[in-house]
């Protein structure tokens, strides 16, 4: 069994000015938003054990901003907090893939 029940990685990479990258739309802020929300929902505790991480460039810049949920290896893109709320409730809390955001 995986150490974390779900281990989420946000690309929070910042490339040079003008270059397409996940942090151009505030990926670091979005990651912090999800981390706080998951904690508030009690999903990061010993029972649920969901971890929200930042990561360097995951090389899917043209589809970004991206995040990936392991061990299932499901990749998402997102536009705003409402997309992230849907991923939190549907996927992280209830284990259902959000097809419309999947890449």
CB of 58 to a second copy, least distance (A): 6
Question: If residue 76 lies in a helix (H) or strand (E), which one and from where to where?
Answer: strand 74-77
Q: At closest approach, how far in Å is the CB of 28 from a second copy?
A: 10
Residue among 24 and 54 whose Cβ is closer to a second copy: 54
Q: How far apart are CA 65 and CA 45, in angstroms?
A: 27
Residue 71 CB, nearest approach to a second copy (Å): 5
Q: Is the bond into 65 cis (omega within 30 degrees of 0)?
A: yes
Max Cα–Cα distance, the chain, nearest Å? 43
In the bound state with a second copy, the residue whose beta carbon lies nearer, of 58 and 89, is 58
Binding site for a second copy (CB under 8 A): 1-4, 7, 9, 51, 53-60, 68, 70-73, 75
Q: Which is nearer to a second copy, 70 or 89 (CB)?
A: 70
Residue 100 CB, nearest approach to a second copy (Å)? 18
CA distance 23 to 95: 27
- Measured between alpha carbons, how far is 95 from 50 in angstroms, rounded to an integer? 12
């Amino acid at each position: 069994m995986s150490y974390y029940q779900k281990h989420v990685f946000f690309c929070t990479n910042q490339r040079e000015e003008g270059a397409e990258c996940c942090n151009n739309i505030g990926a670091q802020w979005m990651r912090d938003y999800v981390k706080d929300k998951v904690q508030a929902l009690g999903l990061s505790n010993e029972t649920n054990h969901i971890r929200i991480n930042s990561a360097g460039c995951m090389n899917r810049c043209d589809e970004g901003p991206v995040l990936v949920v392991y061990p299932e290896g499901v990749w998402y893109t997102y536009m705003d907090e409402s997309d992230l709320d849907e991923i939190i409730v549907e996927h992280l809390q209830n284990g259902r893939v959000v097809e419309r955001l999947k890449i």
